[in-house]
Every structure is written in structure tokens, then in C-alpha cells.
Homo-oligomer: A and B are copies of this chain.
Amino acid sequence: MPLFMDVHSLGDGVTMDDVARAHAADLATQDAHEVSYLRYWVAEGEGQIFCLVEAPNAEAADTVHREAHGLVADHVYAVQEGS
């Protein structure tokens, strides 16, 4: 399954709690789209969020965010993990 890193640049700060709630909504939504949000990292002060996600394509990953909470990423990068 292709791997993506999606990046949210909210500008203002964001709290871990807010992102955790959004992530829980992603998990509750993703199965219908064959998407797996795997891990995420948050820079609270800078409002920056990185989500590592397996999905059939970038659009499917976006669709899960849109349906779950409406906060789609600013950019979704197709990535490979180094070893």
C-alpha cells in the first residue's frame, strides 16, 4: 500500500488534545476508504502536524480527513521510508 506524509500548517498553535480528537475521528472513518493513519507528530506552538498514512492514493487519505473532521492537509507527499 502506498505511503504518504501529510502536512498541516495551521499557522496558529494547536493542542495535542485537539489533534488527538481529530485523529480518533480519522480512525473511525478510515476503514471504508482502505486508509490507515499510522502515526502523527505535532508541533503545538507552530500549529504544524505531520501524519504518516497508508492509502490507495492521496485523494483517499484526504477524503478521510474531510469526512472525519474537515481539516484536510495543506500538502500530501507520496513518500518512501528509508532504512
Closest B residue, CB atoms, query A23: B82
Asked whether, in the complex, the Cβ of B40 is within 8 Å of the Cβ of A82, the reply is yes
User: Is the beta-carbon distance between A80 and B41 smaller than 8 angstroms?
Assistant: yes
Tally of contact residues, A, Cβ under 8 A: 24
Contact of A43 with B5 in the complex, beta carbons under 8 Å: yes
Measured CA separation A72–B58 after assembly (Å):
28
Bound-state CA distance A2–B21 (Å) is: 23
A44 interfacial by beta-carbon distance below 8 Å = yes
Is A68's beta carbon under 8 Å from chain B? no
Residues of A within 8 A of B (CB): 3, 5, 16, 19-20, 23, 39-46, 48, 50, 52, 77-83
